[in-house]
Amino acid sequence: MEPIAYGFMVTVAGASVMGVAVGALGAACAWRARIHVVLGAILTGVAYVLLLIADHHGRLFWLSAELVWGAPLLTMAYLVGSLAGRWTAARTRWGPTWTALVSFFVALAAGLSYMLLFRLDMRAPLGWAWVIDAVLVVLLILIRNSTRPGPRPTS
């Protein structure tokens, strides 16, 4: 039974790392291409599923387990990257390419540091990721409303 448990832990770790990487890259690409946040999230999720299928050469046996463990981290990395891109663009004069690079590295660092929760408990990242995702969605909505250009003054 022990080799099967280690195999499952490796599968969970691989799905989590892939989720963080794809989420960070999806957020950076969506920001650079000026795609809407929701459309970028859908495209990132589809890319993640296709990468999981390609990783196992079309066998769908582990797909549900990898989606359960990787999707929360994918969502968190995507939302952190989207927030970092919006925040960087609103507060600096950098171009969209540099802003996308900053959002990619911020999301990657946040996602990989979040994975340190695996040291405490195997299920810890899974439980807290949905709470953090909900908070990040609220922050994304608030930042979206605060970074909109206001009405132009008439003089």
- Give 51-86 pLDDT, tens digit per residue: 988 887 877 777 888 888 889 999 999 999 999 998
Mean pLDDT of 122-144: 83
Rounded to the nearest 10 degrees, how much is the dihedral formed by the CA atoms of 44, 47, 53, 56?
A: -90
Q: How confident is the model at residue 151 (pLDDT cuts 50, 70, 90)?
A: low
pLDDT of residue 146: 60
- % residues pLDDT > 90 (the chain): 37
pLDDT given at position 115: 85
Indicate if the pLDDT at residue 127 is higher than 90: no
Residue 121, classed as helix, strand or coil, is coil
Nearest to 25 by CA among 88, 89, 107, 83: 107
Helices (H) and strands (E) in the chain, counts: 5, 0
CA distances from 56 to 44, 59, 141, 155 (A): 19, 6, 36, 64
Segment 45-59, tens digit of pLDDT: 999 999 988 887 877
- What are the residue ranges spanned by the domains of the chain? 2-144
pLDDT above 90 for 39: yes
Scan for tokens 């770790």, then name that residue. 13
User: Given this model, what pLDDT does residue 148 score?
Assistant: 52
Q: pTM of this prediction?
A: 0.84
Contact indicator for 38, 89 with CB cutoff of 8 Å: no
Q: What is the largest CA-CA distance in the chain?
A: 77
Q: What Cα–Cα distance (Å) separates residue 81 from each residue in 25, 43, 75, 86, 94?
A: 8, 15, 10, 9, 16
What pLDDT sits at residue 118?
Answer: 81
> Which residues touch 22 (CB under 8 Å, ≥6 apart)?
44, 47, 48, 51, 74, 77
For 26, phi and psi rounded to 5 degrees?
A: -65, -40
Looking from the CA of 64 toward its CB, the CA atoms found within 13 Å total 1
